[in-house]
Chains A and B, each alone.
Chain A
Amino acid sequence: MAGGRTVLITAVAFSTVLGVAVGLGLYTFVYAKGASYLTNDPAACANCHIMSDHHASWIKSSHRHVAVCNDCHTPHWPLSKYATKASNGFWHSFAFTSGEFREPLRIKPANRRVTEAQCRRCHEAIVAAMDGGHPSARKLECLRCHGRVGHL
Chain B
Amino acid sequence: MTETSTSPPPRRLVRLIVLATAVVALVAAGVAALLVNILERKQEARNPFFRVVEVDDRTEDAAVWGQNFPLQYDLYRRTVDQVRTRFGGSEALPRTPTEVDPRSVVARSKLEEDPRLKRMWAGYAFAVDYREARGHAYMLEDQTFTQRQQVVQQPGTCLNCHASTYVAYMTMGEGNLVRGFERLNAMPWVEAKEYVRHPVSCIDCHDPASMQLRITRPAFMEGIRALKASQGVADYHVNRDATRQEMRSYVCAQCHVEYYFKGAEKRLVYPWARGHRIDDMLAYYDELDFADWTHAETGARVLKAQHPEFELWKEGIHARAGVACADCHMPYRRVGAFKISDHHVRSPLLNINHACQTCHNVPEEELKARAEAIQERIHNLRNRALDALVDLIDDVAAARAAGLSDELLATPRRLQRQAQFRVDFVESENSTGFHAPQEAARIVAEAIDLARQGQLALRDAGVRRP
Q: Which residues of A contact B (CB under 8 A)?
A: 3-4, 6-7, 10-11, 13-14, 17-18, 20-21, 24-25, 27-28, 31-32, 48-50, 93, 96-97, 102-104, 106, 147
Contacts and interface: CB of A to CB of B under 8 A. Distances in A.
7 contacts: A3-B6, A3-B7, A10-B17, A17-B21, A20-B25, A21-B31, A24-B31
B38 interface: yes
B38 A28 contact: yes
Contacts of B28: 17, 20-21, 24-25
Contacts of B358: 104
A18 B18 CA distance: 12
A104 B10 contact: no
B10 A48 contact: no
B41 A6 contact: no
Contacts of A24: 28, 31-32, 35
B17 A31 contact: no
B14 A7 contact: yes
A27 B408 CA distance: 91
A140 to B, nearest CB: 18
B51 interface: no
Contacts of B35: 24, 27-28, 31-32
B24 to A, nearest CB: 5
A7 B9 CA distance: 10
Contacts of B242: none
Contacts of A102: 353
Interface string B1-24: 000001100110110011011001
A48 B139 CA distance: 41
Interface of B is mostly: helix
Nearest to A13: B21
B24 A18 contact: yes
B288 to A, nearest CB: 47
Nearest to A26: B31
The 8 closest A-B pairs by CB, nearest first: A3-B10, A21-B28, A10-B17, A28-B35, A14-B21, A97-B37, A24-B31, A17-B25
Interface residues of B, number: 32
Contact of B31 (A28, A96, A106): A28
A96 to B, nearest CB: 7
B37 A14 contact: no
Given A21-B28, A27-B35, A49 B21 contact: no
Interface of B: 6-7, 10-11, 13-14, 17-18, 20-21, 24-25, 27-28, 30-35, 37-39, 41, 45, 334, 337, 353-354, 357-358, 361
B31 A3 contact: no
A89 B132 CA distance: 49
B361 A28 contact: no
Nearest to B28: A21
A73 B375 CA distance: 40
B14 A10 contact: yes
Contacts of B334: 50, 103
A91 to B, nearest CB: 12
A96 B20 CA distance: 26
B24 A17 contact: yes
Q: Which of B7, B14, B34, B354 has the most CB of A within 10 A?
A: B34
Contact of A49 (B33, B39, B45): B45
A3 B39 CA distance: 43
Contact of B34 (A28, A103, A147): A28
B25 A10 contact: no
Contacts of B33: 97
Contact of A10 (B21, B37, B353, B357): B21
A106 B32 CA distance: 27
B24 A97 contact: no
Given A3-B7, A10-B21, A104-B358, A31 B41 contact: no
Contacts of B30: 97
Contacts of A20: 25, 28
Contact of B10 (A4, A13, A21, A28): A4
B18 A10 contact: yes
A148 to B, nearest CB: 10
Given A6-B10, A20-B25, A27-B35, 7 more contacts: A4-B10, A10-B17, A14-B24, A17-B28, A93-B34, A103-B334, A104-B358
Contact of B17 (A14, A96, A106): A14
Q: Which of B7, B13, B17 has the most CB of A within 10 A?
A: B17
Nearest to A101: B334
A49 B34 CA distance: 15
B31 A49 contact: no
A88 to B, nearest CB: 15
Contacts of B27: 21, 25
Contacts of B7: 3
Given A17-B25, A21-B25, A49-B45, A106 B10 contact: no
B21 A7 contact: no
B41 to A, nearest CB: 6
A14 B41 contact: no
Contacts of A17: 21, 24-25, 28
Contacts of A3: 6-7, 10-11, 14
A147 B359 CA distance: 12
Nearest to B22: A17
Nearest to B16: A10
B144 to A, nearest CB: 39
B41 A49 contact: yes
Given A6-B10, A14-B20, A49-B41, A103 B354 contact: yes
B20 A106 contact: no
